[in-house]
Structure 1
Amino acid sequence: MSRWTIAAAQYGGQHQSVENHVTHHLRFIEEAARQGCDLLVFPELSLTGPGEAGLPLPPDDWQLAPLLHAVQLLNITVIAGTTLLQDGVTYKGLALFTPHTDTICRYPQGRGASLVPGVKQLTILDTQSDAPIIDPQATLFTSCQAVNDNRWRQSISRLQRFAHRYAIAVLMANACSGSALWDEKGQLIVRADNGELLLTGSLGRQGWQGEIIPLG
């Protein structure tokens, strides 16, 4: 792959139904495709919202079918925030939509996920591990978050150190503001302010280049 273009969706939608979240996601996906993106990453719980009395139940394949159809049509890979249910307990997870499969893959959110361009799976970093296992071929680590203020500052400091320590680019999709991309040296490529937008990064022969695309 001579050029790889990725994007973080700075998505702050708080809808009352999965269907409305899906419709909102489609707007970001269509814009990312117009920008030539190969990968689009949403913040945590983007498909469900955080819920009022606890994490919502996970959406099913039928509810998410429009997203799978969109990624197949537009040839773009999407990572979205969802919930998972196991043994009666609901917890945060990731949903992976890829263009050439009819299956939606689901993973625990963990500390984030690493991936190799073109590979149809994620490697999730265990929240309990101090020595994460990263595929040596992986060129990107993604972090799906929904944090403000002090937690955001802690996150960007931690992710910058992570990029430098493990020599891997890091893309953070945050719900409200401050989505960012660091290169494999831990240098900041681009960081967003407030608002709904796409933060994009392209990896070419001269390294990473970033851009902010407002969604007006």
Structure 2
Amino acid sequence: MTTLTVAAAQSISTAGDVHANIARHQRFIMAAAEQGVQVLVFPELSLSGYERGLAAQLAIAPDAALLQPLRDLTREVGVTAVVGMPIRLSDDSPVLIGALVLAADGSLAVYSKQHLHPGEEVAFAPGAGGAPLTLGDDTLALAVCADFCHASHAAAAAEVGAGIYAAGVLITEGGYAADSALLQGYAREHGMLVLMANHGGATGGWESAGRSAIWAADGRLLAAAPGVGDALVIARRQAAHWRGDVVPVKHV
């Protein structure tokens, strides 16, 4: 089994300031590259913040020039980044919660959140999901927050052969125990590595719990951020064994 390194980017988003958030994402991608990370997953709506009231004006096409600096950087340093952004698939289409795969080979793939939280329907429409990522012999399936609250979503990922299930989320302290238990349960039930990338600070009027985490395929916690703040939560596979690590990311 080949070596593989994946990570959750526990990042703090500035409300509606996409340019500032792109700069922060660039720092995360550089830090991930220094750690040998191959796939880096950011929280839900990481580039805009979880700002429902701003989603319509901020929504972009997945291939918008705005994201070219991030795409150039991922190709330059060899890190595939999954970033969160409100998207429109055409000029007259509804706004979706997107997870955009900016691949290290320069390609672009789109995942859109399938299951909305109550209240999100005022700003967003349900999306159609997206194809899993192929990483050599590994398959990684994506989820965005409420998607993982539906057991059928994780089960569908397992059915297509995903060995990794990666969710970009916004989870508050009040929901953390139940949500993390659900994700840990999927790891054990389906024999998948499960990654959860949570926001590192408050966003959209919600206080994030932070504590992004990765569980091994037997449900064992590999690594978790100790609280809020900018951090990389990393899982490395060598000789078929996974180990976890947490690395703070300095904000310049």
Q: Does the residue aligned with 1:195 lie in a helix, a strand or coil?
A: coil
Question: Structure 1: any 5+ residue segments left out of the alignment?
Answer: none
Q: What's the offset of the Cα at 1:119?
A: 7.9
Length-normalised TM-score, structure 2: 0.76
RMSD: 2.6
Size of the aligned set, in residue pairs, is 215
Q: What's the offset of the Cα at 1:124?
A: 5.0
**Contact 1:108/1:124 (CA < 8 Å) preserved in 2?**
no
Q: What's the offset of the Cα at 1:133?
A: 1.8
List, as ranges, runs of 4+ consecutive aligned residues in structure 1 with deviation greater than 3 Å.
110-116, 118-129
CA shift in 2, pair 1:188/1:129, >3 Å = closer
**Contact 1:18/1:59 (CA < 8 Å) preserved in 2?**
no
Question: Which residue does 2:32 correspond to in 1?
Answer: 32
Question: Which residue does 2:112 correspond to in 1?
Answer: 108
Question: Structure 2: any 5+ residue segments left out of the alignment?
Answer: 116-128, 201-209
**Contact 2:44/2:168 (CA < 8 Å) preserved in 1?**
yes
**Contact 2:59/2:86 (CA < 8 Å) preserved in 1?**
yes
Q: Does the residue aligned with 2:7 lie in a helix, a strand or coil?
A: strand
Question: Which residue does 1:78 correspond to in 2?
Answer: 81
Amino acid of the structure 2 residue aligned with 1:51: E
Q: What's the offset of the Cα at 1:195?
A: 1.3
Q: What's the offset of the Cα at 1:155?
A: 1.3
Q: Which has the higher strand share?
A: 1
Amino acid of the structure 2 residue aligned with 1:192: A
1:174-207 residue CA offsets vs partner (Å, 9 max, x unmatched): 0021100001111111111221111111011251
Q: What's the offset of the Cα at 1:122?
A: 6.2
Query: Which residue of 57, 63, 66 corresponds with 2:66?
Result: 63
Amino acid of the structure 2 residue aligned with 1:141: Y
Question: How far apart, in 2, do the equivalents of 1:72 and 1:119 lie?
Answer: 21
Q: What's the offset of the Cα at 1:92?
A: 1.3
**Contact 1:79/1:96 (CA < 8 Å) preserved in 2?**
yes
Question: How far apart, in 2, do the equivalents of 1:54 and 1:22 lie?
Answer: 17
Length-normalised TM-score, structure 1: 0.88
Query: Which residue of 169, 177, 190 corresponds with 2:193?
Result: 169
1:35-58 residue CA offsets vs partner (Å, 9 max, x unmatched): 111110000000111226253432
Amino acid of the structure 2 residue aligned with 1:74: V
Question: Which residue does 1:94 correspond to in 2?
Answer: 99
